[in-house]
Every structure is written in C-alpha cells, then in structure tokens.
Structure 1
Amino acid sequence: MKKIFQLIITISFAIFGTSCTKDFNEINTNTKVLTVDGLDQSSYGFVVKRALYSGVYFDNSTSFLRGHAAFSDIYSNYQTHTHPDFYSDNFVLNGAWLDAFYGGFYTGVAPQVKYAEDYAVTNKYDIENAMMKVWRVYVYHRITDFWGPIPYSKFGNGEKTVPYDKQEDIYKDFFTTLDQAVALLKSNSGKTSFLGAQDVIYAGNVDKWLKMANTLRLRLALRVKYADPALAKTNAEKAIADGVIENNADNATVKSAIAFANKYNTLTAWSDFRMSADMESVLKGYADPRASKFFSAAGTSDPSDDPAGFTFNFEGIRNGQTKIAKQSGINAVSSNMAPAYLTVGDKGPDWPVLRAAEVYFLRAEGALEGWNMGGGSTRSFYESGISASLAEHGSDGKNLVGNPYVSSTNVPAGYDSQSAPVSTIPVAFQSSASKERILEQIITQKWIALYPDSEEAWAERRRTNYPTLYDRILSENPDIPVNKIPRRVPFVGIEYNNNRTAVEAAVATMLGGPDNGVTKLWWDKKP
C-alpha cells in the first residue's frame, strides 16, 4: 500500500509539474513512473486521501511551519514568535520561508488536487469530481489570500512558464466552480461516494459535501463584500438557499491520523511560539471557558492580573518582541498550545475546515447588511455562533465564573496588571450600537471561534480591520508600522528565478501596486 501511495504522488508530480520545481524537465519526462492508465478506482482513493491531507497539512512540517505558523499564526495575533532568530513577528517577510511555503503548495498540494479532479472527470466519477472541485476552491483560496495573483487556471500546463491570474478572476471562477460542484452534488443527493473512509472529511457523504460547498461559498461571498457588494450578496443568499452547515455534527474537519498527524504536534516541541497577549486579554476578560482548549497553563503564571472570582493561569506575550526579550526566558512564563497539540508522535486534533460557528457569524454579518440569511436576525445569528463554538469545545455555555457566557457584559482585560485591555467590546450583543460597532462584536467572537485557523483569521483582520488588537512592540519593516499588519506577502524568489516572465507580468498588470507587504489584495477594499 505504501508503494502505491508513493507512486500515485509521483504521478501527480510527473504529469503536472510546475515552474517552481527546479528539476521540472527531468520530472516532466520521467518514463519510469506509473502511468495514469495503471490506476484503478481503489488506487484513486489513495490520491484523494492524500490530497485532502496535504490541503491542510502540506506534505511536510517545514512547509506548514513556513506559511501557517510563521506568518498567518503571527499576523492573526493568535501566537507570538519567541525564537530569538525569527523575525516575521516584526514584519520581516522572510523570502526563504515563503519559498518553502509556496513551493510546498505548488509541488505538493496543487498537483495532487489537480490529478484527483482530472481523474474524476476523465472517468465520469461525478460525486468525486464535485468533491475535488470544492476542495480545489478551498486550497486555492487560502493561497491567493496570501499573495493575490497566483498561477491558477493554467497550472499544470506542462510548460516552464505558468501565467498568473488576477485575484478578481480567481474568485469569480471559485463561484463558477462551486456552481458546477453543487449541481453535481444535488443530482446525487442521498448517495455516498465509493471513497468511503478514504474521504477523511465526510466518509463520502454527498449531502454533507453539499453543505460544505455552500458554506465555502458563503465564506467567499463575505470575503468580497467590500470589493463587489452585488457579487457578495448574490452568492451569500444562494449559499443559504441551498443549505449550509448549521450544527457541529456537520462540521467539516480533516480527521488526523498517525500517518497524517496534526503538524502542531511536531511544531510545539520546537518552542518557537507562545500564546499572544491579545488572546490573553480577550479570553481572560471574557472568562472564556475555551482558554484551556486552546492553550496550556504557563509554567509560571502571574496571579496579580487575574480577575476577581477565578484563576487564569494562561499567560500571553505581546507580538513583535526584540531579540533580547526573546532570549530572556519568556517561554517559561507564557502558554504553549493546549495539551492535545503537545504530544509528539500523536495524531493530534482534527483540522477544522468549515464549522457551524463560523457560518452563524457569516450569517450575522450578512443580516447586518440586510441580506436574506434564512430566517434570523443579526443578534440571533451572533448568539448562535457563540453557542456553537462553546459547544464544539465541550462547554455548557457558562463562563469561568458560572454565568451564561452569551449574555455576559464582560469586556477584555489587560494582559498584565499595568496594561490596558485590547478593546472595550463586550460579549453581550449591543442592539443599540452602531453598525460598525456590531460588526466589531461579530468579528471579535469569530476570531476566537476560528482558532487555530489563522489563515482565515488573518484574512478577516485585513478585510474588516477587526478585532481590535495590540500594536507590535517592534517592526523591522520600514513599510509597515507597529500599528498595521501585512496585507499580503511578496512573490517568491523561486518564481522570479524560474517563472520570471509570468511573475513580472503579474506585478505590472494584476497586483495594483508594488510587490511588497503593503499593497492590498483585490478584495481588501475597506477604508
């Protein structure tokens, strides 16, 4: 079985080589690999399984670390870098790290997803074709939200030059692709894919994949709200009409396994990051019962800043620490991730793809805009989002002092006894507040509920400018002050070396500004 697995992955590289692979010509002409004709239905299942795992974990810890842990974890302010020689927390957009992340996607994730979709089309596997179309949209939306223009429609063209696509065009194709997938899933309602357990998200359940497709459409619709309000409204209402995830039993998660473990169960042992001060301020102030599901108690905690009525042993660190501060032993007095993420060699928690809590917050925002979000109000959707997230993490709906969480007037607290709270946003819905204040409430709770999906949290920070979080202590990027965050990451060196014509064309005609961390993405239009 292991040999079959390796051969299948080799096929994906051989057939769909990309410009960011240095040995492109050799890989693209290797005649010693298994051919497509040599596969059958059972072998195809291994390709899909690998494509689903690689879509969230990549194929190695390094690629996951260089993108997710080194950038989005830090720019969402979920974590703080504590390694003395890591500077992305100070807004240094490390080219070598981005090379590893970008290369990991285009030589690992993208070929597997493309192969799985193309094979399904060729063999008229309608259900599996729909599943992989949904998955293609999912994996690519996370990558385009890092860079903006990327190789998309021409990926796998077998040439050394792979053109880029505008982000606006990519997003519009996402909606078209989801239309195609939804139509196929609807026509097979009630059925189950032959993939069975090799579908590590829903075990082949077509109806659940339909909800996932519509939920992804809803996420992307809100993403483009400020760039194309009409497109956003149309797709948001279409998603609701077709049926989205509404309870935790239907949550889309990639099931971790020993062979495909949660990458944090490797990374946490390296002690490169700790809980952010923002997380401490928010979770402590709200007396949030999810704190112990997200983080471990600090080795040495500071009781002087604990609120009245309960002990809070979780300690965060401000983002953007100096090298000297990082060398002062701050790991020992701050919180690592929760125990479930700490055992090396364990499969670790499942990876969240799309969850009911996020759906309710998306619907709350849509209702705030006056869109038809399916028989509810901004307030009811907001409160349902909180309740869904609490239930997902085993909470009975009470905060750490035993009072109902959703109606609490609690606000964030200072992360230490000398510091101001990160914001003044309460938990309890403020019906009489301004539209903007209500949006801040929605996104603040959504930020908590998305953890540890930092790609989405960073994207939402850029899109909405919420939640309100602490400034960096230090920025080493002259373009980005301490009170801002990167809006994108620069195109990578391997592309300038191997796909220069295409990447330079993207900068000149698609990006809308210099190739740096300040130029905003297409959908990033909020003033």
Structure 2
Amino acid sequence: MKKNNIYRAVTACTFASAVLFSMPSCTDGFHEANRPGTGASAEDLNRDNYMTSSFIVQMENEAFPEQENTYQMNQDLIGNYLGRYMTYANNGFAEKNFARLNAPNGWVRYPFKDSMPKTVSAFKEIARVTNGQGLNYAWALILRAQSFMRLTDMYGPIPIGADPNDGNAYSSQEDVYKSLIADLNKATGIISPLVAANPDLTVSAEHDKVYQGKFAKWLKYANSLKLRIAIRIRFVAPALAKQLG
C-alpha cells in the first residue's frame, strides 16, 4: 500500500512539475512514508527522553565500565595504575605482559578503537538532539570528560575534534586537558543554578547507573574531575592548576 502511495505521489509530482515548472519539494514526507510500519519515528524516539537517555547509558558504560571484559580491556590493564600489580596466567603473554607494562599491541590499541568511537558517537547524538543545550547536554559533557581523561592518560595526544578542518587531527595532551576544563566549566555552568534552586534535582533516575539522576552529585563529580586535572598539570601549568583548585 505504501509503495503504491509513493508511486502515485511521484507520478503526480513529476506531472505537475512538468506543467507548472515550479513547485515546492516533491520529496516532502518521503522519509516518513518509507518508514516500516513497525519502526519508531524520530518523534517517537524523542518522547520521554528515550533517545537521549539511551545514549547517556552508552556513555556511562564507557566512562564507568561494569562488564568484566570491557573494564579489563578498556580501563584496568592498559594505563591503569593497578596494571603493574597484575601478572599473567597465560603463557602466551610471556614476552608481552601487563606486569611489565608491556602489553600485546592488540590490547594497547583496544581502548582507542573501541571505547573512543562509542563515546564520540553517543556524544554527537546527544549534542544533535539537545542542540548543545540543557541538562542532558551538560551530563554528556561530564561523561565525555571522564572517558577522554582516561584516554589521554593512556595515549597522550588524541583526536578530540578540536580542528574544524580535520576531525581526525590529534590534539596535544595540554590542549586535551584545556578542552576538558572548558567542557566541565560549561557543564557546571548549566547544572549549578538548577541545583542551587533545587538541591534534590533528579532527572532520568532510571537511566542513571551511577547517581540515579541526582544532579547535585553530578555537579560534585564534575568539580572533582577539574581537581584531578589540576593535580596532573600542577608542575607544567601551576597557575592554571591553582585556578582550578
């Protein structure tokens, strides 16, 4: 039935265009017309904060991985301060192992090729849906800061989309930290007045596996990330570290 409707619409539009030479777009509504009858529309997905919340959950899964393999491969063994306390039980790791901070190349690359794209893709969708505004956007900024901080501590320079002409360009660790500070300042600037007006502000509790939607706690966490950055840059940028502290 939909195919017939689309065919008739195309035929009518083509004929009218040939006669009148000027018409509004002939493809208006085609996207919705082609949507499977059982599929949810963009409007449906935006209801009850479903779309944004699903991407928030994806970002939380990367920022605070609970699944054992994800935690081990993306956080625990590569660059983590506990990595040197681990040893290996598999003879295949005899030459390249974690106890000597000399992991196999495939493991070293894994956070970059797995955690980073999942974090970036989810953040971009949240930024698109929220138009870069509001509480959910601030939440996403905090989660991205947590993930990117771990990634830059693993790899040093990483691509964070800072170059408008080249999305794959690498930024120095100094620029990464400064970008994260700016993001965290933006996030706290959005959340602070809302929490000041309502200290018990709770949003999307069912989708928040960390603080159950309590934004006073997310505000505190964002400030703790700034303090963590201050500690790490205190010797190379003491003035900025003091400002953050």
Same fold (TM over 0.5): yes
Which residue is equivalent to 2:131?
A: 121
Alignment of 1:32-431 (within 5 A): 39-40=45-46, 41-57=49-65, 61=69, 63-73=70-80, 76-86=83-93, 87-88=96-97, 89-122=99-132, 124=133, 126-154=134-162, 162-189=168-195, 190=198, 192-236=201-245
Kept after mapping to 1: 8 A contact 2:58/2:118: no
Q: Deviations over 1:82-111 (max 9, x none)?
A: 322112233434222223221111332331
For structure 2, the residue ranges without an aligned partner over 5 or more in a row are 1-34
Change (3 A) 1:67 1:36: same
Cα distance between partner residues in 1 of 2:147 and 2:74: 13
Helix, strand or coil at the partner of 2:168? coil
Kept after mapping to 2: 8 A contact 1:137/1:177: yes
Change (3 A) 1:230 1:102: same
CA drift of 1:37 comes to 5.5
For structure 1, the residue ranges without an aligned partner over 5 or more in a row are 1-30, 237-527
Cα distance between partner residues in 1 of 2:76 and 2:219: 30
Q: Deviations over 1:189-222 (max 9, x none)?
A: 1253431221212222121111111111111111
Q: Deviations over 1:326-370 (max 9, x none)?
A: xxxxxxxxxxxxxxxxxxxxxxxxxxxxxxxxxxxxxxxxxxxxx
Paired residue total: 201
State percent identity of aligned pairs: 21
Cα distance between partner residues in 1 of 2:210 and 2:170: 30
Cα distance between partner residues in 1 of 2:126 and 2:165: 17
Q: Deviations over 1:269-295 (max 9, x none)?
A: xxxxxxxxxxxxxxxxxxxxxxxxxxx
Cα distance between partner residues in 2 of 1:140 and 1:102: 10
Cα distance between partner residues in 2 of 1:36 and 1:163: 32
Higher relative contact order (CA 8 A, sep 6+): 1
Alignment of 1:475-514 (within 5 A): none
- Higher radius of gyration, 1 or 2: 2
CA drift of 1:65 comes to 3.1
Cα distance between partner residues in 2 of 1:60 and 1:116: 26
CA drift of 1:227 comes to 1.4
CA drift of 1:47 comes to 2.0
Kept after mapping to 2: 8 A contact 1:59/1:104: no
Helix, strand or coil at the partner of 1:201? coil
Cα distance between partner residues in 2 of 1:112 and 1:37: 18
Change (3 A) 1:167 1:217: same
Cα distance between partner residues in 2 of 1:232 and 1:80: 35
CA drift of 1:75 comes to 6.0
CA drift of 1:74 comes to 7.2
Change (3 A) 1:72 1:147: closer
Q: Deviations over 1:281-325 (max 9, x none)?
A: xxxxxxxxxxxxxxxxxxxxxxxxxxxxxxxxxxxxxxxxxxxxx
Cα distance between partner residues in 2 of 1:194 and 1:208: 12
Change (3 A) 1:37 1:158: farther
Q: CA RMSD in A?
A: 3.1
Cα distance between partner residues in 1 of 2:114 and 2:233: 27
Change (3 A) 1:94 1:55: same
Cα distance between partner residues in 2 of 1:143 and 1:58: 17
Cα distance between partner residues in 2 of 1:208 and 1:92: 37
> Which structure carries more helix by proportion?
2
Helix, strand or coil at the partner of 1:104? helix
Cα distance between partner residues in 2 of 1:72 and 1:81: 16
The two structures have a TM-score, normalised by structure 1, of 0.35
CA drift of 1:45 comes to 1.6
Cα distance between partner residues in 1 of 2:74 and 2:57: 22
Change (3 A) 1:38 1:163: farther
CA drift of 1:148 comes to 0.7
CA drift of 1:140 comes to 0.3
Which residue identity lines up with residue 181 of structure 2 in the other structure?
A: F
Which residue identity lines up with residue 233 of structure 1 in the other structure?
A: K
Cα distance between partner residues in 2 of 1:35 and 1:165: 37
Which residue is equivalent to 1:12?
A: none
CA drift of 1:58 comes to 8.0
Which residue identity lines up with residue 136 of structure 2 in the other structure?
A: E
Change (3 A) 1:201 1:234: same
Cα distance between partner residues in 2 of 1:65 and 1:93: 12
Cα distance between partner residues in 2 of 1:79 and 1:93: 11
Change (3 A) 1:197 1:83: same
Which residue is equivalent to 2:32?
A: none
Cα distance between partner residues in 2 of 1:73 and 1:106: 16
